[in-house]
Amino acid sequence: MPEAHSLRRTSLSQNTAKILHNIAEIDTNTWDSCANAYGAYNPFLSHTFLQALETSESVCAQTGWQPFHLVVENDDDLVGVVPMYLKSHSQGEYVFDYGWADALQQAGGKYYPKLQISVPFTPASGRRLLTRTDDPQSTDLLLGACIQVAQQLDVSSVHITFMQETQWQQAADLGFLKRMDQQFHWHNGNYQNFDQFLADLASKKRKNLKRERREACANDIEIEWVTGSDLTEAHWDAFYRFYTDTGQRKWGTAYLTRRFFSEINDAMAQDVLLIMAKRNGQYIAGALNFIGGDTLFGRNWGCIEDHRFLHFEVCYYQAIEFAIAHGLKNVEAGAQGSHKVARGYLPEATYSAHWIAAENLRDAVSRYLDEERQYVEEDIAHIEQNSPFNINTNLSKLRKIELSS
């Protein structure tokens, strides 16, 4: 692995790039002046969230996520920052490049370490090249600095995942390869309650949702929303039990340590929503969500009892109820899951950009991504043609609607 101290500071003509191996090396307000300078608030880009990942040792060199955050300055004026990590594997990313790694290694190359620009373990879209102003030139400076850092470190590649489409297009102009995938998001049609949302669905889908909600809570199950100062360590003890059970079954190990949940509880509880299911006085399931400026982000789910449709109720329907009650425009319910479509969630393209040093691998990946993008675009169109909404619902308008205050 490249020496961590070798790139503490490097000159980029009149600009200077610095590498931070701990996000605590930069002031919270300075980072956040770039992270949420414009657009809706995204909790995952905040200094507080990223620091919680590091101080809890969920993210560190030992877990294969060595912080390598980039800061670019022009003289003493801050241009922007980039949440970046030097990685020794491809786990916890939700954009899969294992085949690329195998191909390069079979050809005698070395795929790891690589540079990953992302929010660890978080497939939520947002800006990744964090500038103080919505200025394409500043974004280009950050992209150029990322490439220079990769070349000086002699790593195989740079990967920017779950990025904004505009930044994706800019990255392509500088030689990054364009990748597209899809997620399923719910959009608030200025609904006053859940029944108004149901009215926009086709009759059969509406009946199915009502049946699922009844059956999910049929065994005397109660649902609670817990957020802000109401969150306690007892809630996190219960949720961590659910989370580790699911993590061990899906990945073999849980990515987040127990300390992480205490860290976010202490530092950003106002941005956190736990949706908890209780039976006979005991918590049996729960979903962790983060509250953004206009979006509820669903992140983790787990349970210790299996009840039919309870996952849908806790993760999807309760999230919709919360978004309507709090005037949020969207619910992002995490990666993958075409089963969400029947629950009123629509396909949304997600974007990633990849800079690959080895020419042969870059050419092969480029051809593959051209075909993959076409398939994704066709699949999104097909799903929309078969959406659960009735014929009178304008899906394009639903995505763009402005909520009343």
**CB under 8 A, 24+ apart: contacts of 357-360:** 357/150, 357/151, 357/155, 357/156, 357/157, 358/104, 358/107, 358/109, 358/156, 360/107
**Residue 146 shares a structural domain with residue 200:** no
pLDDT of residue 7: 55
Residue 250 pLDDT grade (very low, low, confident, very high; cuts 50, 70, 90): low
Give the pLDDT mean for 156-183: 97
pLDDT score, position 401: 74
pLDDT at 252: 60
Q: Is residue 161, in this structure, part of any structural domain at all?
A: yes
**Pair (42, 120) in one structural domain:** yes
Instruction: Check whether residue 190 and residue 226 sit in a common domain.
Output: yes
Pick the last residue of a domain from 148, 175, 202: 175
* CATH at 194: 3.40.630.30
Which of 8-22, 211-225, 297-311, 362-376 is the least confident region? 8-22
Residue 235 pLDDT > 70: yes
The band of 249, judged by pLDDT with boundaries at 50, 70 and 90, is low
Domain enclosing residue 134, as ranges = 4-175
Residues 63 and 196 grouped into a single domain: no
Is 16 in the same domain as 84?
yes
Residue 381 lies in a domain: no
Question: Rounded distance, CA 108 to CA 128, Å?
Answer: 32
pLDDT at 79: 95
What pLDDT score was predicted for residue 46? Answer: 98
Is the pLDDT at 13 greater than 80? The verdict is no
Residues 116, 214 share a domain: no
> Is the pLDDT assigned to residue 270 strictly greater than 50?
yes
Distance between CA 122 and CA 254 in Å, rounded? 13
d(CA 242, CA 301): 7
Residue 352 inside a domain? The answer is no
Same domain for 38 and 119, yes or no, is yes
Q: Please indicate, yes or no, whether residues 170 and 315 belong to a single structural domain of this protein.
A: no
Q: Are residues 160 and 205 in the same domain?
A: no
In a domain, 376, yes or no: no
382 in a structural domain = no
C-alpha 153/C-alpha 173 separation (Å) is 23
Q: Is 97 a residue whose pLDDT tops 70?
A: yes
pLDDT confidence bin for 76, thresholds 50/70/90: confident
Q: What is the pLDDT of residue 109?
A: 96
- The model's confidence at residue 393, banded by pLDDT at 50, 70 and 90, is confident
Confidence tier at 3 by pLDDT (50, 70, 90): very low
Q: Is the pLDDT of residue 313 over 80?
A: yes
Confidence of residue 251 (pLDDT cuts 50, 70, 90): low
| SS3 category, 121 | coil
Residues 168 and 204 grouped into a single domain: no
Confidence of residue 247 (pLDDT cuts 50, 70, 90): low
Q: Is residue 277 part of a domain?
A: yes
Domain boundary among 116, 151, 175: 175
CATH of the domain at 83: 3.40.630
Which residues neighbour 361 within 8 Å (Cβ) at sequence distance 6 or greater?
Answer: 100, 103, 104, 107, 109
Residue 375 within any structural domain of the chain:
no
| Closest-CA residue to 35 (of 283, 293, 347, 387) | 293
Residue 329 lies in a domain: yes
**Does 211 lie in the same domain as 298?**
yes
Look at residues 95, 94, 90, 88 and name the one whose alpha carbon lies nearest to residue 112. 88
The number of domains in the chain is 2
* Confidence bin at 245 (pLDDT 50/70/90): confident
Predicted confidence (pLDDT) per residue in 192-234, tens digit = 999 999 999 999 999 999 999 999 999 999 999 999 999 999 9
Q: What is the mean pLDDT of the chain?
A: 93
Are 85 and 46 in the same domain?
Answer: yes
Express each pLDDT in 130-157 by its tens digit: 999 999 999 999 999 999 999 999 999 9
